Amino acid sequence: MALESLKARQRTDYSFELEYRTRWSDNDMYHHLNNSIYYFLFDSVVNAYLIEHCSLDPPTSSHIGLVVHSHCDYFAPIEFPAVVDLALRVNKLGKSSVTYEIGVFVRGQDEVKAVGEFIHVFVDRESRRPGKAGMSEDLKTGLQKIVVDKASL
């Protein structure tokens, strides 16, 4: 995906948001949010959505999501203190996999600070293999609600 299109992302390009209040310990020695914190945030927004909107109960579910790919494009720093809005959408929904996009915005600012990608493959908890039917209907139905039109990729 072209960096220019990612840099142009707006909050309205996403269907779900989760608020995060940065902590002093999130800063690195350069006084901005440490790169590893972004991945913590990606995991948080994705799993909050799955639990709230897809009937996923991670401790008891027979199927689990394994992260098979992740990356982040950083456009501007964030530093403590800040309220960050994590914006989520689904760019691709397959039989057992889903590609999420996460936009990171500072509350009160319009420009996107970072855009991440996170790919889950849903597998059987025991075998660690995708099921023949793919992901559950509850999961697929919930994720379909935030799938974007291919034209907005």
SS3 55: coil
Q: Which distant-in-sequence residues (6+ apart) come within 8 Å of 150 by Cβ?
A: none
In terms of Cα–Cα distance, which of 45, 29, 28 is closest to 84? Answer: 45
Ramachandran assignment for 108, one of left (phi > 0), alpha (psi -120 to 50 degrees), beta (any other):
left
With a pLDDT cut of 70, the percent of the chain lying above it is: 97
Q: What is the pLDDT of residues 109-119, one digit of tens each?
A: 999 999 999 99
Domains of the chain are 1-145 (3.10.129.10)
| Residue 152: predicted pLDDT | 59
Query: Helix count (H) and strand count (E) of the chain?
Result: 3, 5
Answer yes or no: is pLDDT of 12 > 70.
yes
pTM: 0.93
Answer yes or no: is pLDDT of 151 > 80.
no
State how beta strands 83-93 and 97-106 pair.
antiparallel
Displacement of CA 49 from its chain's centroid (Å): 9
